Chains A and B, each alone.
Chain A
Amino acid sequence: MTTPEAKKERRLPVGTMILALLVVIFLGVAVNRFANGLGAVSNMSDGRAWGLWIPFDLFCGVPLAAGGFTMAAIVYIFNNKKYLPLARPAILTAFIGYLLVVFALLVDLGQPWHIFRMIWNPNIHSPLYEVGWCVMLYNVVLALEFAPAIFEKLRELHLPAPTWKIPLRTLHMIEIPLIIAGIVISTGHQNSLGSMLLLMGNDLNQLWYTPILPLLFFLHAVCVGPAMVIIEATVSSKVFGHKLDIGIFSGLGKILCIPLVIYLLFKVGDIVVAGEVGALFSGFPANAWWWAEMIIGVVLPLIMFLLPVVQKSRGWLFVSALLVVLGLILNRFNVTLMNLEMRPGYGTYFPTWMEIAVSVGLFSGGMIVIMLANKFLPVMKHDEGHGESHKEKPTEAPASA
């Protein structure tokens, strides 16, 4: 990064301190939860056993980290090196996102200290088993995918330590298998999140319940991947002051339209095949939620991404991407809260401030880590990057060491 360091350092602390405060509040709530139980911090009950955390931190958190596998596939598998500068930041945010999922689960689970029971006593037919395993494995894969950034930094420091060439070279050797493993694991549990809801056919509104839920979840995640990358890159270019070619943004928008159209077709086609078109025009408020989700999150951004005005404007591209993400969040809340019936006799559910504080605090912690990583690690150093230039490194490294 070539931006003036001094200017940045003066600007960071205020925002960072607010974020840090939110993390402290989260820690307080976490202590409360482990002292007094989930009932003391949340409005969850036997009627609504999954409150804010599972719908938001798991069902939204996992697809919002889809930028990782999407960018890895575009750059390393489809070999579209135009997007190389975005690969590492996307992998970093995916990694942090998945760690946050784990932290949220540690608060939400009744027996987090027994989490490894899912290894000793597996029920391989449970969709949640697949999700749990993939979150674990994908965390490892993402850590390995991001590890080169750390080793590159260590190499730069010229420490009187063992050579960093070996781990770098090893990681480079397994790069492509790792990327493919990451794609399989992450997409695999994107759709398993949908499979989880297949057990709720008696409670989930018919507009959303369909045997192809796993496919819809997967397609939606593929749409959200590039959208998240556009958002992250826009925000980070504001914060860290780097400039990326607008062609990268508009290109991602165009790529994004393909899965978005397929998603739209499947979503509407499924309703037609199931003969539930009538339910789109009756059964308020469920149908209103459905229309909101589809118009805000699918139709509107689809039109916008194809408009020349939008393609020329970073701001509009950002807004369009935001709509796709908003649509996903709406969808996930629709299927896990708003249109998933509560047990009779329990009224309605709305999260407590402490539940919100957990989700907000974790998000803030993630932001801090991403900021620190951008400051101290070669996250945006795309000129050096890897890919082709990697091959020159082994010869370059001994000279500098």
Chain B
Amino acid sequence: MSSSEGGSSVLFDGTRCIGCRACSVACKSWNRRPEDPEEKVSVEGGIEGKATLSANTFTFMRYREIGEGDDLKWAFAKIQCMHCLEPACEAACICGAIRREGGTGAVVYHREKCIGCRYCMVACPFGIPTYEWDKWSPWIKKCTFCADRQHGNGAEGSREPACESACPTGALKFFENTGDASGRDLAIEEARRRIEASPGRYYDHIYGELEVGGTAWMYISSVSPDDLDLPQVSDEPVPRNARKAMGTLPYYALGVIGLMAGIYWVTKRRQKVTAGAGEKKEG
């Protein structure tokens, strides 16, 4: 993946997060469904850590109590689509309804191509896409990386994702592509700088740098990704094995056609030979 293809990026810094959930509120405000403008901007799940994504919730704040007694501390993680460089959902989608955009790197769902098969939901290693289970005509719902805001609409120019714009402490930081570096490269650089600048402050791992081949959203925190219940995933991009298997199909088809035609020819010929021999004897 060359740097220009890296796309924009957001770095979540758990040491700066105060768990205020302004990001959740901003997300709900921006993505408020036009057909239900009065929808409550809720923060379901509370601090019990039982929040999940849903068709109406593209992001939520995860709370974890780490350590005991005097060492007890809160740890936070903002959960949303990771916007993988090689998304499993995109590889899974039967209709190409999920596409990773070239410039922003946002993995965006297009309902006008979807048939509602939910393969993306099953394939996603982070458990992100959600479904409208209560609708007779359900669609997939997921975080858009505010691709619409990033594109800008002429007058306003491009803007950062809504959640990032609402963050009061800079725990979320948005990096755009610049002339010579992708936003993602800049984010990784910044994450390294922060970890090196304050020894002992961070758990030394940038979650999302290598996971599933890299993601646009990345996490650094004082605790490990395990403590935050971020999924343990392989560094191998998810689509790789399936793509290899699918690549063999044309050869497979040709091989089977050839093999079957060959066997048919042999058995038919053997039959004719024996039949011919029989006729001769009769004659």
Give chain A's interface residues, CB within 8 Å of chain B: 33-40, 44-47, 49-50, 73, 76-79, 108-112, 114-115, 117-118, 121-130, 132, 176, 179-180, 183-184, 187-188, 191-192, 194-196, 198-203, 211, 213-214, 340, 343-346
Which of these, A44, A176, A184, contacts B256 with CB under 8 Å?
Answer: A184
A46 CA to B135 CA in the complex, in Å?
14
Residue of B nearest to A183 (CB): B260
Q: Is the CB of B131 within 8 A of A49?
A: yes
Which of these, A33, A115, A199, A346, contacts B242 with CB under 8 Å?
Answer: A199
B264 is an interface residue with CB less than 8 A from chain A? yes
Give chain B residues whose Cβ lies under 8 Å from the Cβ of A122: 94-96
Residue of B nearest to A336 (CB): B122
Q: Is the CB of A200 within 8 A of B122?
A: yes
Residue of A nearest to B236 (CB): A201
Q: Is the CB of A211 within 8 A of B92?
A: no
Give chain B residues whose Cβ lies under 8 Å from the Cβ of A191: 245, 252
Give chain B's interface residues, CB within 8 Å of chain A: 50, 52-54, 88, 90-97, 113-119, 121-123, 125, 127, 130-140, 212, 229, 231-234, 236, 238-239, 241-246, 249, 252-253, 256-257, 260-261, 263-264, 267-268, 270-271
Which of these, A34, A46, A77, contacts B263 with CB under 8 Å?
Answer: A77
Give chain B residues whose Cβ lies under 8 Å from the Cβ of A118: 94-95, 115
Q: A49-B131, A201-B234 are in contact. List 10 more A-B contacts (CB 8 A).
A: A38-B131, A45-B133, A46-B131, A110-B116, A111-B116, A121-B113, A176-B264, A180-B261, A183-B256, A187-B256
Which of these, B93, B133, B137, B268, contacts A126 with CB under 8 Å?
Answer: B93
Q: List 6 A-B contacts (CB under 8 A).
A: A78-B263, A79-B271, A110-B118, A110-B137, A211-B244, A340-B122
Residue of B nearest to A114 (CB): B115
A266 CA to B139 CA in the complex, in Å?
40
A110 CA to B229 CA in the complex, in Å?
30
A184 CA to B54 CA in the complex, in Å?
41
Q: How far is the CB of B180 from chain A (nearest CB, A)?
A: 31
Q: How far is the CB of B59 from chain A (nearest CB, A)?
A: 14
Which of these, A38, A49, A199, contacts B91 with CB under 8 Å?
Answer: A199
Q: Is the CB of A79 within 8 A of B96?
A: no
Q: Is the CB of A109 within 8 A of B117?
A: yes
Q: Count chain A CB atoms within 10 A of each CB in B116, B123, B125, B252 and give the residue with the most.
A: B123
Given A128-B94, A198-B245, A346-B52: A35 touches B267 (CB 8 Å cut-off): no
A33 CA to B134 CA in the complex, in Å?
10
Give chain B residues whose Cβ lies under 8 Å from the Cβ of A200: 122-123
Q: How far is the CB of A369 from chain B (nearest CB, A)?
A: 26
